Structure 1
């Protein structure tokens, strides 16, 4: 297995950006919840409002660009809450969870698996889930530069100008999973094991097809969905996985993605990422943060800013039971809390 891990370059430009790695973990004995029941989080009833709030975001694509695009959200929350809010970009998904656990961040925009883990380990409230294209779920996709091998029908062009086969153009999974058995031994690019769409759900689908993603593939792991797309587009790998449809994040700068790559399979639906809020805050402040983010997401400028950050078009109340499905899927491939 090969791991390509480009250095995460985070540059402060009117925004404090930090790599929060190796944060001290709190005692988990009183915060661990049963995996059988969805975690809803906790709060600190008598906590005074802090003098500052830190919003942790996980890296996605160009970290330097994320530093700039998060600033409008940071400013909007500061205005609505009356408390200064600063954004930080963490080193990776798990660093964001540990930042919340160590109270180095009080708000986290996290993938679903990390929302569950932050709740189970540290009592962080899963407050909101993102909406994209009218959905609070999405599928992970398998895409290839070798459609003759993986497509059972002719590729079709979707409404976004990208190519799909095996009934995947709707973006709703599952679809095309019978083709996964052809991947045995294939050069494949995935994300790190903490990624729901970039590793967990695709690995679970491969396991159902009789393929172990870590031993039966010629596997490369990268740190972002755009990097995975570009790896397959460049011919370094034959198959890649990502959220649906990560090709849209790179096609403007790399237009040949539209003709080179074909999506051929979709996993089961994955609960969308969302917003977790630290248990160190009072229930009143937790609610004010949630309300402020929902309010901002309902405005045109909020939609524009959130779309620039993580392609978010809205925010809804979180569904802890739906989020728990991400942990359940991780358990099937041996990635427990």
Structure 2
């Protein structure tokens, strides 16, 4: 009987040790997610099919760098991108500044890199008017109630939010009643609305007029810049919640290495006009958060 009890005790200890060695539950450690594929989410800056074709070299580059298949998915809109990152269907997302702030709030994403354009990691929003309108400055806009204001949409960082914030700082108590607002669906359309006299002024990224130069060679003379907002951090790339620190760093380093790969950098330029790539931090977008909070109730967010 004593031999049996001794044997039973020894067997129990062996099984216990085996259990501890075969899983992490006993140590309180969380098993790391196995990554077999990564999906990038893009918001259309051009036709969806065109983006899908243009980013093929980026897919191939990241697949080689990261050692797992990387595929691109063009989302219908930003809401879909955020939801995809929240649910884990999208691992890597290309987000504008305002979109990034929303993605952090709703999906707890983490920034990795940001765009460099013309040597800068920031940009400004611009106010434009026809050269023959008599409007020479932002002060002229706030001095004349009832002007028609064209912009891409109310969720645009440079097209609406930062200009709206500046107008309120200039003394406009209610921008919704002071101006006649018209959302035209894009920065190029906002420039065109001013050019064709459908709006008194417009707000766009700097300098959206160049987009129309091919079809409207005189746009730079007929439409003039009458003011700018403060600096806005550039758009960038973020990753979903739950990726390990190792994978976050691998993705970050892979994107930063594009600076040394002219072919892939040309792809970034063609899709989102990126000239270079730099590391980004969450704190850089605090200025965007402040503006977002200012208009959060109005936007129904």
Q: TM-score range by the shorter chain?
A: 0.7 to 0.9
Q: Does 1:131 align with 2:116?
A: yes
Contact in 2 for aligned 1:75/1:85 (Cα 8 Å): yes
1:153-193 CA distance string (max 9 Å, x none): xxxxxxxxxxxxxxxxxxxxxxx543331453112111222
Q: Does 1:193 align with 2:154?
A: yes
Q: Does 1:225 align with 2:187?
A: yes
1:267–1:291 Cα change, 3 Å: same
Contact in 1 for aligned 2:193/2:199 (Cα 8 Å): yes
1:330 deviation in Å? 1.7
Distance 1:331 1:58 in 2: 23
Number of residue pairs aligned between Structure 1 and Structure 2: 270
Aligned to 1:7: none
* 2:220 equivalent among 248, 258, 262: 258
* 2:128 equivalent among 139, 143, 146: 143
Aligned to 1:103: 88
Distance 1:213 1:65 in 2: 37
1:273 deviation in Å? 0.8
Q: Does 1:243 align with 2:228?
A: no
Q: Does 1:322 align with 2:284?
A: yes
Structure 2, gaps ≥5 residues long = 1-28
Q: Which has the larger radius of gyration?
A: 2
Distance 2:221 2:162 in 1: 26
Aligned to 2:265: 303
Aligned to 2:244: 282
Contact in 2 for aligned 1:55/1:106 (Cα 8 Å): yes
Distance 1:183 1:93 in 2: 35
Contact in 2 for aligned 1:94/1:194 (Cα 8 Å): no
Q: Which structure has the highest helix share of the two?
A: 2
Q: TM-score scaled to structure 1, two decimals?
A: 0.73
Q: Does 1:112 align with 2:97?
A: yes
1:83–1:188 Cα change, 3 Å: same
Contact in 2 for aligned 1:177/1:267 (Cα 8 Å): no
Q: Which runs of 4+ in 1 moved over 6 A?
A: none
Aligned to 2:6: none
Q: TM-score scaled to structure 2, two decimals?
A: 0.82
SS where residue 154 of structure 2 aligns? coil
Distance 1:254 1:189 in 2: 18
Distance 1:237 1:59 in 2: 25
1:183–1:135 Cα change, 3 Å: farther
Aligned to 1:203: 164
1:258 deviation in Å? 2.2
Contact in 2 for aligned 1:186/1:238 (Cα 8 Å): yes
Aligned to 1:333: 295
Contact in 2 for aligned 1:61/1:227 (Cα 8 Å): no
Bigger drift between 296-305 and 101-110 goes to 296-305
SS where residue 127 of structure 1 aligns? strand
Contact in 2 for aligned 1:110/1:274 (Cα 8 Å): yes
Contact in 2 for aligned 1:145/1:262 (Cα 8 Å): yes
1:119 deviation in Å? 2.0
Distance 2:192 2:35 in 1: 42
